[in-house]
């Protein structure tokens, strides 16, 4: 019995979530690009606050008594952008990934010292820290030109660990909601959240006020929210089940925004994206054409280009701010809100497309088993 459990455990850790270096490299590029466009210039805005606003939570920041000089935050942002650019280009990827995680951790520590904690941002630290020990820098990178390759098997346990931590974080939230009465059909906890937000601050969610009087919607919402948050941990031992659970979680984040007005946790979405078959997308004809067009440019990239992009990102953070948000503000009064709408649209399209694909395959398999029952029995 113990030997069987040990074999299952080893297969789960080292085999279930195996990925190719190219697949992880594409995810690395996507992760770096999302971090560039999704996050505002980290810590640069803190320099405007006096020390009277310094109210860190329990932790090492409690040993400090105020904010450091503005030069510290400029240096921290510069180091973060340099590490992020190196991760993007795959230059000294392992060292850059660890450096990025450390720089983000310090940045978020100072951000939280104002008293508000964003719980989702910790995954932006966890993902590069863990995947530094995978093969996400072994392809489509400057490191790959120096033949620093890693066995594909080494890419399994870091992915498994990222998914485990993500699932546990969501499950803890789900269990807390369940213990607080969210599964009690008479409470309508989600509706209470919306009503309290409307009364206290006058904030209106996109669909909340329209559906506030429909009991069935909020009853389903209570059970769906708890179910999806706990379901990730239940699906964890099986890769296909986890992919379906992550797709459902993507739809869940969209519906939570529409009903409760809670913006999607971008870091969570990037954790789910770790299970996307990026290599299949890369092999599609449009991507092949794009890769062929860009090949002369990518072959000319050197290490100093990565460092130059890092300094460019730092400069734009100081002078302009988040360039993507500024551009989106041309079509919407809030560039950040416009980015949220764009993010939700992409997540909804990807999640629903995958769920429809899985459902279609299931229907075809069931239809085939009805038409050819003898073949289905032996397959």
Cβ distance 27 to 158 under 8 Å? Answer: no
Give me the pLDDT at residue 218, please: 84
- Which tens digits make up the pLDDT trace of 198-214? 665 555 667 777 777 77
Give me the pLDDT at residue 83, please: 94
Res. 130 pLDDT band, cuts 50 70 90: very high
Q: Is pLDDT larger for residue 373 or for residue 245?
A: 245
Give me the pLDDT at residue 104, please: 92
Q: Residue 363, exposed/middle/buried by CB under 10 A (0-12, 13-18, 19+)?
A: exposed
Give me the pLDDT at residue 201, please: 56
The residues, any chain, with a CB within 8 Å of residue 217's CB and separated by 6 or more, are: 211, 259
Q: Is the pLDDT of residue 151 over 60?
A: no
Q: Is the pLDDT of residue 231 over 70?
A: yes
Nearest to 165 by CA among 228, 232, 117, 105: 232
Q: What angle do CA 181, 187, 191 make, to 5 degrees?
A: 110
* Mean pLDDT computed over 120-135: 90
72-85 burial, b at 16+ Cβ within 10 Å, e below that, comes to: ebbebbbbbbbbbb
How many helices and strands in the chain, by DSSP H and E?
17, 0
* Mean pLDDT computed over 117-140: 87
Percent of the chain with pLDDT over 90: 30
Token readout for 48 is 């405007």
Q: Domain map of the chain by residue range?
A: 39-150+303-321
Q: Of 48-57, 87-96, 252-261, which gets the smallest average pLDDT? A: 48-57
Give me the pLDDT at residue 375, please: 54
Token readout for 108 is 């978020």
Q: Is the pLDDT of residue 294 over 80?
A: no
Give me the pLDDT at residue 203, please: 59
Cα–Cα distance measured from residue 105 to residue 124, given in angstroms and rounded to the nearest whole number: 9
* Mean pLDDT computed over 319-344: 81
Cα–Cα distance measured from residue 88 to residue 39, given in angstroms and rounded to the nearest whole number: 15
Q: How many CB atoms lie within 10 A of CB 12?
A: 18
How high is the mean pLDDT of the chain?
A: 84
Nearest to 327 by CA among 314, 319, 336: 336
Q: Residue 102, exposed/middle/buried by CB under 10 A (0-12, 13-18, 19+)?
A: middle
Q: Is pLDDT larger for residue 48 or for residue 141?
A: 141
- Which tens digits make up the pLDDT trace of 256-274? 888 887 777 888 999 999 9
Distance from CA of residue 328 to its chain's centroid? 21
């Amino acid at each position: 019995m113990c030997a069987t459990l040990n074999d299952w455990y080893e297969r789960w850790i080292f085999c279930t979530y195996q990925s190719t270096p190219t697949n992880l490299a594409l995810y690395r590029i996507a992760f770096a690009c999302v971090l560039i466009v999704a996050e505002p210039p980290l810590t640069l805005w803190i320099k405007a606050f006096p020390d009277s606003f310094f109210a860190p939570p329990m932790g090492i920041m409690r040993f400090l008594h105020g904010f450091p000089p503005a030069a510290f935050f400029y240096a921290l942002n510069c180091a973060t952008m340099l590490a992020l650019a190196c991760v993007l280009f795959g230059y000294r990827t392992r060292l850059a990934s660890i450096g990025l995680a450390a720089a983000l951790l310090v940045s978020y520590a100072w951000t939280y010292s104002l008293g508000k904690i964003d719980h989702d941002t910790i995954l932006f630290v966890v993902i590069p820290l863990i995947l530094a020990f995978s093969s996400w820098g072994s392809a489509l990178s400057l490191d790959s030109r120096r033949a620093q390759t890693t066995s594909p098997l080494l890419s399994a346990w870091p992915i498994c660990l990222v998914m485990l931590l993500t699932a546990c974080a969501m499950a803890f939230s789900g269990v807390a909601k369940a213990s607080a009465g969210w599964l009690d059909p008479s409470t309508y906890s989600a509706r209470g959240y919306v009503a309290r937000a409307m009364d206290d601050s006058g904030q209106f969610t996109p669909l909340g006020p329209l559906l506030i009087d429909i009991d069935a919607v909020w009853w389903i919402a209570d059970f769906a929210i708890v179910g999806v948050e706990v379901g990730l941990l239940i699906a964890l031992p099986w890769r296909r089940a986890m992919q379906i659970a992550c797709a459902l979680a993507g739809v869940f984040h969209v519906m939570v925004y529409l009903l409760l007005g809670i913006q999607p946790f971008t870091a969570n979405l990037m954790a789910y994206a770790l299970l996307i078959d990026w290599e299949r997308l890369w092999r599609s004809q449009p991507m092949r054409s794009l890769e062929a067009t860009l090949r002369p440019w990518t072959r000319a990239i050197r290490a100093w280009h990565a460092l130059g992009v890092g300094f460019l990102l730092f400069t734009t953070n100081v002078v302009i701010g988040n360039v993507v948000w500024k551009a989106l503000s041309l079509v919407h009064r809030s560039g950040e809100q416009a980015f949220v709408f764009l993010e939700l649209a992409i997540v909804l399209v990807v999640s629903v497309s995958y769920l429809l694909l899985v459902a279609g395959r299931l229907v075809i398999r069931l239809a085939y088993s009805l038409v050819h029952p003898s073949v289905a029995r032996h397959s």
